[in-house]
Structure 1
Amino acid sequence: MPQNPTERLAAALAATPPAGVTVRRLDTHWTVVETLPPVARTFDAVIMFGVAGRETMIRYERIATPFTGPRVDADNRMPPALLRSRFTEFDVPELVRDARTAGFPVRLSHSAGTYVCNAGYGAALAGNPLSLFVHVPPTTRRGPLSDAGLERHARWLIGLVQESLRSGRPSFGA
């Protein structure tokens, strides 16, 4: 995607990260399946962002499936096989309700797709079941789906996860 909003989002979060947050940019490579699980284990929780080019809302992914499409990555490599579906331990439907209440255009999704987003999510979940993948649509000029709106959403979500972890309830309930 020529204008990937998650690159700008990651740069904005890295420039002024929320306290206690490590921001990392992952490239679009199938090798994430091998490299991400040990990294994910080192964090209390993992939130990943990726772009969904035909989406019109923010999507919270509930599951990573073992299905990948026959698409090459940025290095022209084919995907490895994922062994099984993996679910996040976060209460995603409740998180969607909280996000909507906060004014963000969010919907629940039961498929992280068939590309590197899905494989990366599965890898993160293999290392840390307190992982969440968030697909964002292409940005608009203004409003909740602008670059600024996506950053506000990301900071809100990170704050909610941090508060949930501090209180000992990773289900996100408000």
Structure 2
Amino acid sequence: MEPQTADRTQSPSTPGAVASFVRFVVCGGGIGVLSSFAVPLVAVTMPWAMANAVVTVAGTLLCTELHALFTFGTGRRPGWRRHLQSSGSAAAAYAVTCAAMFLLHLIQSAPGTVAQQVVYLGASALAGIGRFLVLRLFVFAGPRKDPRPSGTVVTLPRPALPRTAVSPAC
């Protein structure tokens, strides 16, 4: 006899919310840490915002693949639709990290590498929480099941027709 779960929309291989979040942190956080080291290296050859954009796009593509296969356990690679949906939350994360770095450079004209890493990773962590929620609730959410049993016929009440006064014929 199988144990019953509270969420009947999940398949046995689909991880729950806590497991998904842990997997999200490992995958997304790992790519985020690698990105935090890649951005300054790429920024040597181009403006920082452009370097952040290039690294963000590459990281987003890789993360979307990992999240589909591992984090949310869909069992298949994401198609273009999920990549496009995922890119919206990545664009928001990009905006958050750029804004955080812009503010850092307003406060300190020449911040050190450690300060940049702390600000970038902090902004990435906050953006990551929002990204997890978007991906779990919208992008990689399983199909919504109809609570009615299949084959249920739904009948709608007929609207009452207004009665009109009938005058006797002459």
Give TM-score scaled by structure 2 length: 0.30
- Which protein is richer in strand relative to its size? 1
Structure index of larger Rg: 2
Q: Which has the higher contact order (CA 8 A, sep 6+)?
A: 1
